[in-house]
């Protein structure tokens, strides 16, 4: 898992270490150390401008420094790299279960709208979130506001049944915003704590889709807007993050299929290009395969 980025970072650490061993490093040294590694990082799905940002962060931290007394070069370089990498991630990821419980305690349901292109694992992810909430004793309802994909309705209904949470569906072509609205009313009338709303995600992200999604947002006034992207789609995932963030505005990202991702760059890039935190990662096909991502811990693992 994530071997591509790991390999590139190990090589980068090696070349900075070589320079630091003999002298104070200059900006030039850092840039030189990055040469070659830059391509490895891009190859591992790190977006080009994110590689640039990493270079800048490294220069800021490393240029003009020497190894502090009593410190091993290796340790020092690792620290430089770790803090540069960590700075690429946005902090402040909402703990969905906590946020839902706290809003529910005030007597209103916590509304989450999920965006994402078809096939990224959005339906499965919504089911995982419902499962997570349920396992913490937080009630929810799943709403299928993708009214053009019969398959999505059916799939979500089956997930809802399997997990044991109510499901609000709609007939083909119904207004997605009204499905979202109905689900919120349903949650209010039954005192449910969370409303999880699926939306349409055509392959080709276009203006009509964005208009439709903006309407769902206007009507449902979500507490959290979540984009789901697939780690295996590389640069497409990064582009989707950019487009959805510009088009509807997102609060956080869930990256799926991390268990099958040999590269790792999508995880490093999506947060950096949007400035929004990664809320969870999908690590398998079972309902329980949803984990928090803690940037510091994640980066430490990449560098270990
Ligand atoms: P949607 O079209 O975006 O709703 O995608 P689905 O939820 O139907 O998921 C597409 C496929 O990806 C399914 O076979 C899921 O089991 C699989 N999938 C979703 N999330 C993960 C994950 O985190 N890891 C793995 N390995 N597979 C996943």
- Cα separation, 146 vs 158, in Å, equals 15
The three-state secondary structure class of 254 is: strand
For residue 124, give the ligand 1 atom closest to its CA.
7
| Atom 22, ligand 1: residue with shortest CA distance | 257
% of the chain exceeding 90 in pLDDT: 74
Q: What is the pLDDT at residue 302?
A: 86
In this structure, what token pair is assigned to residue 102? 């706290």
Judge contact between 243 and 204, C-beta under 8 A: no
**Is the pLDDT score of 124 beyond 90?**
yes
**Is the pLDDT score of 301 beyond 80?**
yes
Pairing of strands 140-145, 167-168: parallel
Q: What is the pLDDT of residues 1-57, one digit of tens each?
A: 788 999 999 999 888 888 888 888 888 888 888 888 899 999 999 999 999 999 999
Q: What is the pLDDT of residues 128-179, one digit of tens each?
A: 999 999 999 999 999 999 988 878 899 999 999 999 999 999 888 899 999 9
CB atoms within 10 A of CB 103: 16
For residue 127, give the ligand 1 atom closest to its CA.
7
Distance 281 CA to ligand 1 centre (A): 12
- Cα separation, 276 vs 273, in Å, equals 8
Answer with the residue of higher pLDDT: 8 or 68: 8
Output the CA–CA distances (angstroms, integers) from residue 88 to 49, 134, 229, 238, 268, in the order listed: 11, 32, 18, 14, 7
Distance 209 CA to ligand 1 centre (A): 22
Q: What is the pLDDT at residue 285?
A: 97
Alpha helices in the chain (DSSP H): 3-22, 27-34, 37-43, 48-62, 73-86, 96-105, 122-135, 150-163, 176-190, 207-220, 235-247, 265-274, 295-303
| Atom 26, ligand 1: residue with shortest CA distance | 284
Q: Which of 142, 193, 190 is nearest to 169 (CA)?
A: 142
% of the chain exceeding 70 in pLDDT: 100
For residue 283, give the ligand 1 atom closest to its CA.
23
In this structure, what token pair is assigned to residue 173? 């072509």
For residue 198, give the ligand 1 atom closest to its CA.
4
Distance 120 CA to ligand 1 centre (A): 6
In this structure, what token pair is assigned to residue 132? 């997570």
In the numeric block, the tokens 């799926």 are attached to: 256
Q: Kindly tell me the sign of the dihedral angle through the C-alpha atoms of 291, 1, 90, 63.
A: positive
Ligand 1 cavity residues, CB under 6 Å: 116, 118-124, 155, 256-257, 259-260, 282-285, 289
- Whole-model pTM: value is 0.94
Distance 68 CA to ligand 1 centre (A): 47
Pocket test for ligand 1, best of 122, 124, 233 (most atoms within 8 A of CB): 124
**Is the pLDDT score of 252 beyond 90?**
yes
For residue 116, give the ligand 1 atom closest to its CA.
3
Backbone angles phi, psi at 136, to 5 degrees: -100, 10
């Amino acid at each position: 898992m994530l071997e591509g980025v790991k390999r590139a970072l190990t090589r980068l650490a090696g070349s900075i270490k070589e320079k630091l061993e003999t002298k104070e490093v200059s900006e030039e040294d850092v840039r030189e150390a990055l040469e070659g590694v830059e391509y490895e990082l891009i190859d591992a799905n790190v977006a080009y401008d994110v590689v640039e940002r990493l270079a800048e962060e490294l220069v800021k931290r490393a240029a003009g420094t020497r190894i502090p007394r009593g410190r091993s070069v290796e340790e020092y370089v690792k620290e430089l790299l770790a803090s540069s990498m960590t700075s690429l991630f946005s902090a402040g990821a909402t703990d969905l279960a906590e946020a839902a419980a706290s809003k529910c305690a005030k007597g209103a349901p916590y509304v989450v709208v999920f965006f994402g292109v078809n096939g990224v694992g959005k339906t499965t992810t919504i089911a995982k979130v419902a499962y997570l909430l349920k396992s913490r004793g937080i009630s929810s309802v799943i709403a299928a506001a993708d009214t053009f994909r019969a398959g999505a309705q059916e799939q979500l209904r089956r997930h809802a049944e399997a997990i044991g949470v109510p499901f609000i569906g709609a007939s083909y072509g119904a207004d997605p915003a009204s499905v979202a609205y109905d689900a919120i009313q349903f949650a209010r009338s039954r005192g449910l704590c969370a409303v999880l709303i699926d939306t349409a995600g055509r392959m080709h992200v276009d203006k009509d889709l964005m208009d439709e999604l903006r309407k769902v947002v206007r009507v449902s006034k979500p507490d959290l807007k979540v984009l789901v992207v697939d780690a295996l789609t590389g640069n497409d995932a990064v582009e989707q993050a950019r487009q959805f963030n510009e088009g509807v505005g997102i609060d956080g990202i869930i990256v799926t299929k991390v268990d099958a991702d040999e590269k790792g760059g999508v995880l490093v890039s999506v947060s950096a290009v949007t400035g929004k935190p990664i809320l969870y990662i999908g690590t398998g096909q079972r309902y329980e395969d949803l984990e928090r991502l803690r940037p510091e811990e994640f980066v430490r693992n990449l560098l270990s």
